[in-house]
Chain A
Amino acid sequence: MAANSLLQKYSDERAALVQNAVSRAAAIILGRRRVLSGIRWRNDLIITAAEAVGGLEQADVRFDGDELSADVIATDLTTDIAILRIPSTSPHASVTTDAPSLLRVGETIAVVGRTLRGPSAIWGTVQLAGPAWNSRRGGKIDQRIELDVGFDPSFEGAAVIDTSGNIVAMAVPGPYHRVLGIPTSTIESVVAKVDQYGHLPKPYIGIRLQPLWLDDATRSKLGRKTRSIAAVGGIDAGSPAEQAHIELGDLLLTLDDHPAESVNDMARRIAGASPGQTIALEVLRGGKPLTINVQIAERPRH
């Protein structure tokens, strides 16, 4: 077979694309037992999967040759994005986000990670490319991406590159053994918040909710589709909810004109909001609807 056969060129090109991304692939050492991958986002920031990082404050990060100690500066469980800071050494251009923003189903991608034994890569296909979605934890994710790749735990947090070599997502494990891609633009918006505040503020209004089951008569009287309604079961002292005079026993009807379907739904909507933003809660109090504006604050960190 000639050295410049199509197959040879195909292989060379694939290897070159991966090689290009390897300089951004980090191995995140969480302890003696767990090593996952990460993406060198900027010269001082590493992105990896929040779920794996858990409650850690520091982790060792290994690149080609050097190993650095990184501080975990933010973990966002709603989008599964963790941000680690390393002492900035060699200048490293930021990951560019002006790449074609949406992946197409069927597109060829590679997942590029790093283990302690060296960089690792695997090619695969975009199995599903859907619209923006909200994670079960309330994270707003710019595109639903499912990847058809052979995945092992060391690829958690690894970079997903397209055939132009752009980093388009971070690979994380999803439910039912799916491999999800968290799009670059979603990562960028979390990074921007951390740049702004120095940490990642979590939205908080200070109410505890409990579901109340509705019988058919009450349900039709309230004109609701769902079988349950969220009732305010507690209000934190000094919280935005207290300041806005939300009261115990208020039944939540809508949030910004969206029907508040359940406690989960409310949790998702509030988790997807930002501190500083004002939301309109329509509640049922004493049988009468009432609209209350609440300014979302940051969840206390101490």
Chain B
Amino acid sequence: MSARVPTPERQRPAPTERGLAEPLCRPHGRAVSAILATADEPFRNRVLERLLAAGYDDLEVADLPTALADLLRETKQTLVIVGGTWPDPQAFLRVAVNAGAFPLVLLESSALEAEGEALAMGARAALQSDIPASSLAAALAAVDAGLIVLEPSARALLLSANRDRFSTPERFQPGHDAAPAPANSATNPSNRAVDQSTAGLEVPAATATRKGRPLTSREREILGLVASGTSNKGIARALSVSANTVKFHLAAVFDKLNAATRAEAVAEAIRRGELSL
């Protein structure tokens, strides 16, 4: 399934002036600025926040590789952001590359090996997920323009890639078409994690899930207004914040309450004693 990011009011200008014919194209040539493809919710929320800050506000989210494949079939979008703890993003990356999109990989750890693998699989950029919003925007623009973006630290990667080509040829091959290899093959994710830790590279502990965490008082306030039937704009007016802020808070609320719809979020918050009847 694909989750829809609440659509912001401010729409990015269309690349070409379509004039009166534009509404007719609405359901088909769906113009979204990027697709965020990840199954990792904490990661998704952090990146969403920065993408919104960077002005990418017309986003689609795919939480399964199949959902990404569906989205890529129905949009003309080429910018796909995949990420999380390597090798989780691999399946998304493969789908994006096969569909001819320009995937940008955001990695949770600073493992150069993972960066190399991502690039070898066809990623247009392999960056750390804590990249500032402004750099992320610049990277997206560059990838959109057909360039490949690397972090400065990846210089070492380019150099070591040449060395490795002669010593361990299978290292930078995509996981699925690497030849079956000996004991510590890079094709097996669990083995790879062992490889990394033994190589002295940090493997981040599983990130704490946001599910089950209590709502903040602001989130509770917003959900109360949702329950009263107030629109996002109405909530924004009532709290003197922007509609995008409301949407951001609501995305966090939906995530914490594991809800896909407003009604579900309200019902779940009542069930947890977070919202009054």
Chain A positions 84 through 118: 1 when the CB is less than 8 Å from some CB of chain B, otherwise 0: 00000000000000000000000000000001100
Are B26 and A29 within 8 A (Cβ)? yes
Contacting residues, chain B, for A233 (C-beta < 8 A): 273
B83 to chain A, nearest CB (A): 23
CB-based nearest A residue for B235: A55
Q: Which of A7-15, A73-81, A121-129, A160-168 contacts B (4 or more CB under 8 A)?
A: A73-81
By CB atoms of chain A within 10 A, which of B232, B238, B246, B277 has the most? B277
Are A206 and B276 within 8 A (Cβ)? yes
Picked from B6, B235, B267, the residue with its CB within 8 Å of the CB of A267 is B267
Are B274 and A208 within 8 A (Cβ)? yes
Are A301 and B229 within 8 A (Cβ)? yes
Tell me if A136 is interfacial: C-beta within 8 Å of chain B. Answer: yes
Tell me if B24 is interfacial: C-beta within 8 Å of chain A. Answer: yes
Using CB atoms and an 8 Å cutoff, list the residues of chain B in contact with chain A. 4, 6-7, 11, 23-24, 26-27, 30-32, 224-235, 238, 246, 250, 261-263, 266-267, 270-277
**Please, how many residues of chain A have a CB less than 8 angstroms from a CB on the other chain?**
50
Are B276 and A51 within 8 A (Cβ)? no
Are A209 and B6 within 8 A (Cβ)? no
Picked from B30, B232, B266, the residue with its CB within 8 Å of the CB of A56 is B232
B247 to chain A, nearest CB (A): 8
12 extra interface residue pairs, beta carbon distance < 8 Å, beyond A60-B23, A264-B271, A301-B229: A32-B26, A33-B30, A55-B232, A56-B232, A57-B231, A57-B233, A116-B24, A202-B227, A202-B228, A204-B228, A209-B277, A300-B224
CB-based nearest B residue for A50: B263
Tell me if A64 is interfacial: C-beta within 8 Å of chain B. Answer: no
Report the Cα distance A210→B270, complex, angstroms: 8
Contacting residues, chain B, for A298 (C-beta < 8 A): 228
A39 to chain B, nearest CB (A): 20
Report the Cα distance A116→B273, complex, angstroms: 43
Are B229 and A208 within 8 A (Cβ)? no
Contacting residues, chain B, for A32 (C-beta < 8 A): 7, 11, 26, 30-31
Tell me if A158 is interfacial: C-beta within 8 Å of chain B. Answer: no
Contacting residues, chain B, for A210 (C-beta < 8 A): 272-273
B114 to chain A, nearest CB (A): 33
Are B26 and A301 within 8 A (Cβ)? no
Contacting residues, chain B, for A75 (C-beta < 8 A): 229, 231
Are B230 and A209 within 8 A (Cβ)? no
Contacting residues, chain B, for A205 (C-beta < 8 A): 276-277
Report the Cα distance A139→B71, complex, angstroms: 34
Are A116 and B274 within 8 A (Cβ)? no
Report the Cα distance A72→B232, complex, angstroms: 12
Are A116 and B27 within 8 A (Cβ)? yes
Picked from A31, A51, A236, A301, the residue with its CB within 8 Å of the CB of B228 is A301
Tell me if A283 is interfacial: C-beta within 8 Å of chain B. Answer: no
B214 to chain A, nearest CB (A): 12
Report the Cα distance A112→B42, complex, angstroms: 42
Are B26 and A35 within 8 A (Cβ)? yes
Report the Cα distance A300→B232, complex, angstroms: 15
A85 to chain B, nearest CB (A): 13
Are A299 and B23 within 8 A (Cβ)? no
Chain A positions 270 through 302: 1 when the CB is less than 8 Å from some CB of chain B, otherwise 0: 100000000000000000000000000011111
Asked whether A207 and B23 contact (CB < 8 A) given A51-B262, A55-B262, A301-B225, the answer is no
Tell me if A229 is interfacial: C-beta within 8 Å of chain B. Answer: no
Report the Cα distance A32→B275, complex, angstroms: 33
Are A72 and B231 within 8 A (Cβ)? yes
Report the Cα distance A208→B223, complex, angstroms: 14
